[in-house]
Amino acid sequence: MKKLALCVALALAAGGAYAKDWSTIRFGTDASYAPFESKGTDGKLVGFDIDLGNEICRRLNAKCVWVEQDFDGMIPGLKAKKFDGALSALTITPQREQQIAFSAKLFNTPTRLVAKTGSPLQPTIASLQGKTVGVEQGSIQETYAKQNWAPKGINVIPYQNQDQVYLDLQSGRLDAALQDEVQANLGFLKTPRGAGFAFAGAEIPTGAAAIGLRKEDADLKAKIDKTIADMIKDGTYKKIESKYFDFDVYGG
């Protein structure tokens, strides 16, 4: 009987069927995307996503461990079990849903083009032909630009993180940058390094952001989804949101 029990235990372990211990939850994040995630002057991670993740862990009586990861490695890192959830302004897309699961929605993520103040550039093929646009590797903006713009004569340059995009935009090596509207506004345009730059043209609707999760971790998804719903219902989400935004980032 003991031998049979051991065989069953080993089989369950091999198949990942053990009940998982979520007393520690590891979140992967790219700390170059203020106000969602960045590093404070003391080197600690700060931002809207960080506060949401810490509150989720607190309510689940779990220890939060943050793992820094370049954005283009977020989904591979999640699948390789470097962390348990990708909490880094990760937009839900059909392509990503083929690889991973997503939690309930955290906030909306419209996309905007940024260029020099007064620039006539618009987020259109006609306006951007022959121009160079920077995007963050692995982002929905990279996917959008490569699918819709690159084949039409627009030079799309991917960067390892968003800070590198802005550095080359400031230096003049880029004509424009394409990224999340909220991030661009609060993390660049309203900071000293964004002086002389502005949004160019209208927003591009690109969906909602959520926590990326492994498909096999349905139990963790259920716990996180309930916690997000509770935070919205009891006003905690609004309280955290008000620290970073003076508008409704969640949307309808």
Higher pLDDT, 95 or 207: 95
Co-location of 90 and 118 in the same domain: no
Q: Count how many domains the chain has.
A: 2
Tens of pLDDT along 80-91? Answer: 999 999 999 999
Confidence label for 215 from pLDDT (cuts 50, 70 and 90): very high
Mean residue pLDDT across the chain? 92
Co-location of 165 and 46 in the same domain: no
Q: Is residue 157 part of a domain?
A: yes
What span, in angstroms and rounded, lies between the C-alpha atoms of 226 and 241? 18
- Spatial contact of 61 and 175, defined as CB atoms under 8 Å apart: no
3-state secondary structure of 237: helix
Q: Is residue 181 part of a domain?
A: yes
Q: How much is the average pLDDT of 162-191?
A: 97
Give, in order, the Cα–Cα distances in Å from 107 to each of 110, 197, 247, 252.
10, 25, 12, 9
Confidence label for 15 from pLDDT (cuts 50, 70 and 90): very low
Q: In CATH, what number is assigned to the domain containing residue 157?
A: 3.40.190.10
**Which has the minimum average pLDDT: 13-22, 50-59, 162-171, 193-202?**
13-22
Co-location of 216 and 96 in the same domain: yes
Tens of pLDDT along 92-136? Answer: 999 999 999 999 999 998 999 999 999 999 999 999 999 999 999
Instruction: Look at residue 252 in the predicted model and tell me its pLDDT.
Output: 63
Instruction: Look at residue 20 in the predicted model and tell me its pLDDT.
Output: 86
Co-location of 99 and 143 in the same domain: no
Co-location of 30 and 99 in the same domain: yes
